[in-house]
A and B are shown apart, each in its own frame.
Chain A
Amino acid sequence: ILNVEQSPQSLHVQEGDSTNFTCSFPSSNFYALHWYRWETAKSPEALFVMTLNGDEKKKGRISATLNTKEGYSYLYIKGSQPEDSATYLCAFTSGTYKYIFGTGTRLKVLA
């Protein structure tokens, strides 16, 4: 059974702090790893789609890295702001229509 794990499940940080969290996924049959940001009562919104080992992607203060050989991806947020408060989801796919989602990391940024 393919499993995707995210850690931590939740965290609280102070405004201005930098933070990071992890997505662990199967290292075999890798095709792509997706990151989504999901605010309460809104649609999950795409952050990154990563396909190559060693990939690093950046969007404003948010960046992500990918290690397909060991099966993990890190998401970093630099200088967290209250508007960064959301659940961050990752999803693994081996190239089919099936995406395996993690349970998410719930981030709360305190002003």
Chain B
Amino acid sequence: DVKVTQSSRYLVKRTGEKVFLECVQDMDHENMFWYRQDPGLGLRLIYFSYDVKMKEKGDIPEGYSVSREKKERFSLILESASTNQTSMYLCASTVPGRGSSGNTIYFGEGSWLTVV
């Protein structure tokens, strides 16, 4: 069974703290994504990675960075958490290449982050 695992499901952090959200996939996918889900808004892309150490900014990258040191692991980093980053974060992966957007996206279960 294919799996995208987000290790932290629920976190509460203080303003200014550095936060790491980890995502691991076991499907050998090159493409990995971090999305943010807020009420009334569709999933919004924060960052995309198409290979180890390769990344592209998504639609809302401000206040975030990412790390992809190994193919199976994609980390989202909040350098200095702020209350407006309270949200649900969803990791995903899919196969690479032109035409890959016709392939299924596999999602994790989400990480709920509250910044106080």
From residue A75, how far is it (CB to closest CB) to chain B in Å? 16
> What's the Cα separation between A32 and B19 when bound, in Å?
34
From residue A88, how far is it (CB to closest CB) to chain B in Å? 13
> Residue on A with the closest CB to B4?
A43
B102 and A31 contacting across the interface, CB-CB below 8 Å: yes
> Residue on B with the closest CB to A47?
B104
A95 and B98 contacting across the interface, CB-CB below 8 Å: yes
> What's the Cα separation between A104 and B108 when bound, in Å?
18
From residue B105, how far is it (CB to closest CB) to chain A in Å? 7
> What's the Cα separation between A78 and B108 when bound, in Å?
28
Residues of A near B102 (CB, < 8 A) are 31-32, 49, 51, 93
- The tally of residues in A whose CB lies under 8 Å from a CB in B reads 27
A49 and B103 contacting across the interface, CB-CB below 8 Å: yes
A99 and B101 contacting across the interface, CB-CB below 8 Å: yes
Residues of A near B41 (CB, < 8 A) are 103
- The tally of residues in B whose CB lies under 8 Å from a CB in A reads 28
Among A4, A91, A98, max chain B CB count under 10 A is at A98
> Residue on A with the closest CB to B100?
A97
B42 and A103 contacting across the interface, CB-CB below 8 Å: yes
Flag whether A59 is at the interface (Cβ < 8 A). no
B42 and A49 contacting across the interface, CB-CB below 8 Å: no
Residues of A near B40 (CB, < 8 A) are 103
Among B31, B103, B107, max chain A CB count under 10 A is at B107
Residue interface mask B82-94, A partner, CB < 8 A = 1: 0000000010000
Residues of A within 8 A of B (CB): 4, 31-32, 34, 36, 41-46, 49, 51, 89, 91, 93-104
5 additional contacts (CB under 8 A) given A99-B43, A99-B45, A101-B42: A36-B107, A41-B109, A44-B90, A97-B50, A99-B101
12 A-B contacts (beta carbon < 8 Å): A31-B102, A34-B105, A43-B110, A46-B106, A91-B43, A91-B105, A95-B99, A95-B101, A96-B101, A97-B33, A99-B43, A104-B42
